[in-house]
């Protein structure tokens, strides 16, 4: 029993030491998984179509006893205020539309203004200003009459000047306007 018996005892001692070490380890908490949903979006534009990608938003404004204005520049997307209007909080933005097609004749329907209405009463009026990308990548202000643009993908930006009355009632104001693109 000499060598073989000694090897069996050593192997048994090693197994016993391993079992003792494993038993002395603290119990680990079980792993947990967390799920969170995300959103993926895409827009495919067919020839001679137009889609809106962003709304015109003048942001949060504070009125005062003096009337004033808030302006969103359609080229730079910058907001400025005047008179008794103070900008606050949220980030304003120009409206953005994407279109593609042949030579484009672009107009904004109506008289280039939009009335914003508050639930419970109160209105404000904004005068719209239009701009579009050109084939060279620059942005061109579009005049009050129809403007021809070259064929291809075009991006249209709508900004404007919102007239805020003296002591304008607080609340959320909204209105709609229509961008019409006529393809030749």
Tell me the per-residue pLDDT of 37-80, one tens digit each, with 9 for 90 and over: 888 877 676 777 788 999 999 999 999 999 999 999 999 999 99
- CA separation (Å) from 58 to 10, 38, 109? 82, 28, 20
- Of 25-29, 79-83, 148-152, the least confident: 25-29
User: If we measure between CA atoms, which residue out of 89, 93, 83 comes closest to residue 60?
Assistant: 89
pLDDT of residue 136: 62
Residue 18 in this model has a pLDDT that exceeds 60: no
Number of residues assigned to the chain? 184
3-state per-residue secondary structure call for 24-66:
HCCCCCCCCCCCCCCCCCCCCCCCCEEEEEECCECCEEECCCC
Q: What is the pLDDT of residues 95-114, one digit of tens each?
A: 998 887 766 666 655 668 99
């Amino acid at each position: 029993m000499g060598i073989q018996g000694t090897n069996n005892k050593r192997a048994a001692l090693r197994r016993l030491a391993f079992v003792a070490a494993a038993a002395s380890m603290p119990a680990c908490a079980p792993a947990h998984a967390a799920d969170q949903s995300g959103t993926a979006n895409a827009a495919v534009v067919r020839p001679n179509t137009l889609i809106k990608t962003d709304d015109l938003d003048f942001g949060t404004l504070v009125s005062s006893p003096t009337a004033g204005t808030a302006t969103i520049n359609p080229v730079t997307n910058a907001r400025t205020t005047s008179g008794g209007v103070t900008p606050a909080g949220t980030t304003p933005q120009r409206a953005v539309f994407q279109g593609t097609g042949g030579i484009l004749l672009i107009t904004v329907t109506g008289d280039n203004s939009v009335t914003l209405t508050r639930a419970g009463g109160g209105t404000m009026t904004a005068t719209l200003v239009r701009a579009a990308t050109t084939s060279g990548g620059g942005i061109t202000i579009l005049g009050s009459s129809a403007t021809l643009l070259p064929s291809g993908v075009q991006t249209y930006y709508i900004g404007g000047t919102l007239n805020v009355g003296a002591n304008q009632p607080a609340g959320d104001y909204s209105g709609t306007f229509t961008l019409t693109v006529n393809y030749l």
